[in-house]
Structure 1
Amino acid sequence: MKTPRHSRTTDQILDEQHARHDRVSMLAHDARSALADILGGLSLFPDASLDPQTHQQLERIQSASEYLARLLELGLDISIPHYRAGADYPLRLFDFLTALERRWRGAAEAAGMEFHLAVAPDVPAILGIDALALERILANVISNAIAYAGSVPIHILFEMRSATGLRVYMRDAGPGFAPDNLATLFDRGQRGAQAHLRQGDGLGLFIARTLTHQLGGDITARNRSGGGAEIRLDVPLSTARPTRRLAHRHDDITLPDLTNCRVLVADDSLTNQAVLEKMLSAFGARIETQSDGIGALTALLEAPFDLAVLDIDMPGESGLGVIAALRDSGRDWADLPIIACTGFVLRPDHEAIMAAGADAILTKPINGMLPLACAINKALAAKPAFCKARRGAQDLLFSALQQRAEEPESKTLALYIIADLKMIARAMMHSWQQVDTADIQRQCHKLIAVAGAVGETALSTQARALHCAIEQETQDDIHERVREAPDRTDSLIHQITSQFSIKEYILP
């Protein structure tokens, strides 16, 4: 009896089982390492008080626990048919580095070592790479260094090898690799000259190489001329545009309404000024720009602002210096919300910026409207008393119209507003039928201005949401927003006509 052409041979089945065993054993190795971190952190608690060391170890435990949870999710992907956890993509640099530092700084210091993270300024805030795979690679390399390098500093450096390639250096000042072991360092079962002193199965660097190759990258090791070891990791980055999965984290974000708010933007880059000015204007703000710290501080001290977006690294005076000087100035508006805009992505840098008096941090490069919206919301929420006082000082047109409803000029103005709203609603629906998204955005700008002028925050915010959705959401989502806009516009028209007893939308 002949074997069916497409049936698997015994050798193929054994090969598949062997490959499956390899994957499970590597995953189990990483899971055991994470669990060892949790147990190691627990053993270092001196008592129930949260002194700095205890706090650090608590963070380490939390980070390792999160890592273990992701590994178990990956285990389900391997073990259960048709289960798909999905790659942890894309990578958010600040979150990734924070978790990396929380996990490994405590482990290194417990072993008598210093742990240093550095990031080149050209590394983007969001990277097209599987974050869990990269974390597993680094975890194996770092744990290997902690085990064998001795009481020396460990340095991790992230930089861009090219526009589509990430490079990570992991260096220590220890004894280095045995020259005879360099050629086979990443092979299965290789544990080095000091293997007899420690338990292990020699899988760590083998896993690092396997995962690196799965990402399409390369990992190499060498002994540095000045002493110590270096492992260099090169991995390609995806250039595909992030999918909507990236935006799920922001689905519940309310777009801020900055109608009639004065906002100072200070940045020595004209490009950054233009980007921020365009996005803040879409939120209804009136923008003033400065290109250095001294100009920014002068402007802030001369007249009140509702919000400031300050670059931290500016000529003349740093953003930190500007924040400190304003906070100490005694001005009535010295407590205004401040967003610090910076390329620094490490947690200690962010902690120093917040300690200096910033209310929120916006990491450069600025990847769209939503990160800016998040920063604005956080900054405004940090200063509710200031924002409430400023809102009370605004003389919105609608309030003025209500107070003078019987005056002929107010009724005339109301008729103009109604005419504008009807024209915008008709033009928006026509543009949608013609698939003219550029004109829809133009109508959004008009609607933001008109609705904002009469104090209709809900409609103004909805118009901004539609403006942002044009470039970020699906056609179905945009269509739904376009349909909602005329309904709210009609509601505002009805409100105005009722207030002024207008029976028809005809200008005198």
Structure 2
Amino acid sequence: MTELHPQIRELALIGIEHFAENEAMRRDQLSKTLIRLAAAVLVLILALAVTAFVLLKLFRRGERFSHENAIMRSRFEAAVNSSLDAVLVVNTKGRIIEFNGSAETVFGYTRREAINGDMADLIVPPHMREMHRKGMQRFLDTNEKKVIGAGRIRLEGMRKSGEIFPVELSISLAETDGERVFVSFLRDITQELEAEQNLRTARDKAQESEKAKSDLLTVMSHEMRTPLNGILGSLSLIDQTNLTDRQKRHLNSIAVSGELLLSHVNDVLHLSSLTAENTLPEQSLFDLSELANDVVESLLANAQARNCDLQVNVLSDLPRLVRGHKTSLQQCLINLVGNAIKFTFDGTVLIEVEKLHADDQYEIRVSDTGVGIAPKNLPRVFEEFVTIDSSFSRENSGTGLGLAITKRLVEGMGGEIEVDSVLGQGSLFTIRVPLGDATSQIEHVQDGQSMPSAVPSDGLRVLVVDDNEINRLILADMLHDMKCEVTQAADGYEAIEATQKQAFDLLLLDISMPGIDGMETLARIHAQGEDWQQVPAIAVTAHASKKDHETIMQADFSSLLVKPVDMAQLKAALTSVLKKDLPPAQAGVRNSTAQDFIARFGDATYERHLHDLKSEVAELLEKLSVDGTMSTDAQQQAHKLAGTAAILGLPILTELLQAVESCDAEAWAEVQDDLRSSLLDALKQP
């Protein structure tokens, strides 16, 4: 043992050392395991903390959303409950899940009665329920929307009492608690429909009143123009050579009174046509400065009678031709200048024409040194039927429509008019209108009128049809003066019978006749054969409205004359229809312009000026024949001669000279032969 003791000790020490190493290894492994466990626990704790933080945020967000939803629900419920419209919320099964107070008022059900009730049975009229259910089922099957989201639509609803009434509703689709619902807003529109019906009734009554006014004006036009045609026509045919001065004064008084009455009728009818928003006549080319001078010439006698100086000043360079509504602008100037002369005595009336810097804008000013207008009356001068001096002792009479018509005409041309006045010193009326520069455009005949050819018309066979004997006689006398053969008929039946017995070259048909009117008469005459369809017909009517004229001209008339008809109008109509240069009237019968000239200056002076005019026209023709081209001097001379011809009452010669004036060198080369021939024929007439 002594010998083994060292080995045993060494062995024990080795074992102890081995066990110590093993224990150290185990301790090291345990330490690592504990460290890993601690790390895992720490990670787990961190994860739990993050999770708790996230859950806390989600919880708070959920609380906030819940609070917001509660607020929104509260607001929605408040909006629904306080809505003046009936609000119904219906699920896809057609059951009512919300029914507000207004719905209770409109339909008569309480909320308790309506909730969970079938909407179709409660508020949909019986005749619409099947259509309602089919529409609901179609939407659930196909999602096809017709009423949903279509905005406001009008249908019918039913109250608890069974009363059916009109409703206006809009339906939208919403989703609540995962379920689709329909939100409907309904409104009882019974009162609104009654108000609309009242408005329609008022509109219809207003239209009936307007139609009655138009009919009244039409009747007035016809009934007043027919006797006026007899009065003025007879005056134009009376030979005054054997009458005493007193008789002539009486006839002149009758003529002036008749013309004044006719002008009043025309003013009322013209205002009516403008009120009905009828369009203005077609635009044409014209010389603006010449237009102003023509107005002055036409009113010069009136100005001289009141010892007024009538002047025209052109303050800027104007185009030779402008495009615009010549007739309307001319009427405006006549109204303004005539009004200025009426209220001016021993003074001056001035027309100023100026082109403004703006493109196509022209300003025309009419000023006078007359009585002026008080400031308080200025806003009323353009009103209808307003005469500033309405006292019994007023000097100037009238309808009070001239300025109202002028204002509407100016506005119809796209312009404006204004007035300024000083009481006791005078007035200033200013018109601004757009006019296009048309210098480069030349019309062979002014205002689009056709140039007549020189074809004799002696023995022209004319049928005059009128139920008024006086009108027939006057037209027949005028036609006899133009060397026509005239046959008269008192109505449409006599006219048809006359056409079956003989042929005619021209028909003059009155429109308003007993039995069959002029349009029906013409249709029956044309139906007699192709030859009769070629015979021109002129309508003679007392109807003055543009609408009536359009209706009449649709009946295949060649032209139209408005009563009262004078010699110049009749000759112009026949010339236009027949394309013939008619012979002049017999001696002692002239148009109204020539009559005015002769009454003022005498027949000898008229004949002398007529001889001088024809001589100057002959000289102009000779000059044009020698030169072969159109010059500015020739145009100016033609312009001067045209003015003289107009004053002497020679409309055809005036038109021909105006046609010469409107021609430049190129246009003259094309029409010179026809114009020379027509002018020569016009000079040969007595």
TM-score by length of 2: 0.31
TM-score by length of 1: 0.40
Which of the pair has more CA radius of gyration?
2
